[in-house]
Structure 1
């Protein structure tokens, strides 16, 4: 099963260069918004996960930039999560400009749950069920 989450953001002036085009590194901050909202919409949160002593660090990240996002664009982040293996969670993203439904970027991040001590571990059962 895959889980879909959506979030909406508006490009702030501080996220752009002098031409009004979004700096490429900001996309990954938006993908984090997508992940957090996906978990929240599924009934979990990063705060709960960390309270349980777990973290989900990114171990791989890729992005294909198709069209530039610009100042004041309203964007929808569409995020899909799934178990990639017993101890890996994969999220894929589409960043869509709402005014014209154009896909501006697609991306993927891979995460491994770890304990406070930094050891890989399995996700809690209910969270595994969400992504299984």
Structure 2
């Protein structure tokens, strides 16, 4: 199966929501730690879009703790802003995963056309970051390692070969080179 790493980043997945008052600080802007929580929402929804619930992965004994997080702040999000979190895989192997994120403020016409009936943005199969909707607020990345229930590093292709093959197949199907 080669190196197991995409030759190029996978397609962007998204989730959208309004900023809640409780996510803001005294200055009226989103408190910086909330972006990490939003990254997690992006990862969870991305995996769900591939056909896997994080809970199912964990029930199977496959854990994915964050080993590195990087955020670059461009502009603040504020209470009641409509936010899209765009997420894509930048690396996938039997040992590790890495994600890239863009948090963007969307409004007006973008908001009206961004969501499906559940309010989640509907995106083309694959597009470049220059095509993402909205004003870039925060960009970032996270790295993760596959662990078992005993918090020991594992090779997913050996510990859970069916899961590894299913994830690899889903990534190939969406157009990512694995």
Give the TM-score band, short-chain normalised.
over 0.9
Q: After TM superposition, where is structure 1 displaced by more than 3 Å over at least 4 residues in a row?
A: 128-131
**Alpha carbons 1:31, 1:93 under 8 Å: kept:** yes
The aligned runs of 1:1-132 (5 Å cut-off) are 1=6, 2-99=10-107, 101-123=134-156, 124-131=164-171, 132=178
Whichever structure has more helix as a proportion of its residues is 2
Q: CA deviation at 1:85?
A: 4.3
Q: Deviations over 1:37-80 (max 9, x none)?
A: 00001100101100101110000000000000000001000000
Figure out how many residues of one structure are paired with residues of the other and give that number.
132
After TM superposition, the score normalised by the length of structure 2 is: 0.69
Compute the RMSD of aligned alpha carbons: 1.6
Matched residue, 2:126 = none
Any stretches of 5+ residues in structure 2 without a counterpart? 1-5, 109-133, 157-163, 172-177
After TM superposition, the score normalised by the length of structure 1 is: 0.92
Whichever structure has more strand as a proportion of its residues is 1
Q: How far, CA to CA, are the matches of 1:65 and 1:21 in structure 2?
A: 12
Q: How far, CA to CA, are the matches of 1:16 and 1:32 in structure 2?
A: 18
**Alpha carbons 1:3, 1:82 under 8 Å: kept:** no
SS at match of 1:96: strand
Worse-matched range after superposition: 84-93 or 48-57:
84-93
Q: How far, CA to CA, are the matches of 2:138 and 2:100 in structure 1?
A: 11
Any stretches of 5+ residues in structure 1 without a counterpart? none
**Alpha carbons 1:3, 1:130 under 8 Å: kept:** no
Q: Which structure: larger Rg?
A: 2
